[in-house]
């Protein structure tokens, strides 16, 4: 049987110089989820909602810049018979 893969996140040599805590990213992601799952805003407020959501997405992207995901292990499934 094949091994399940694990995902590791590492800070690459280039990109953000300051260390970003996972808690900050989690908080921003949680806020984004709450905004996206809340009821639609009233008439005329859609643009304001869009700007706020876009701002959160950009903050998350900046925090994730310079990070990469490395897959460890094999994802190949073998059929031993």
Single pTM value for the model: 0.57
Residue range(s) defining the domain that contains residue 41: 22-63
Q: Are 61 and 6 in contact (CB under 8 A)?
A: no
Does residue 53 sit within a domain?
yes
Does residue 71 sit within a domain?
no
pLDDT at 2: 55
Does residue 6 sit within a domain?
no
Q: Are 41 and 35 in contact (CB under 8 A)?
A: no
- Mind giving me the DSSP string for the chain? -PPPPEEEEEE-SSS--S---HHHHHHHHHHHHHHHHSPPPPTT-HHHHHHHHHHHHHHHHHHHTTEEEEEES--------
pLDDT at 16: 44
pLDDT at 13: 47
Mean pLDDT by 10 residues, the chain (81 residues): 53 52 90 92 89 94 79 65 53
pLDDT at 57: 95
pLDDT at 59: 93
Does residue 51 sit within a domain?
yes
pLDDT at 43: 85
């Amino acid at each position: 049987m094949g091994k399940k893969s694990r995902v590791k996140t590492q800070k690459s040599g280039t990109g953000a110089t300051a260390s970003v805590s996972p808690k900050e990213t989690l908080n921003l992601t949680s806020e984004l989820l709450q905004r996206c799952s809340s009821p639609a805003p009233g008439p005329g407020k859609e643009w304001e909602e869009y700007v706020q959501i876009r701002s959160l997405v950009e903050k998350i992207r900046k925090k994730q810049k310079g990070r990469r995901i490395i897959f460890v292990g094999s994802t190949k499934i073998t059929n031993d018979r």
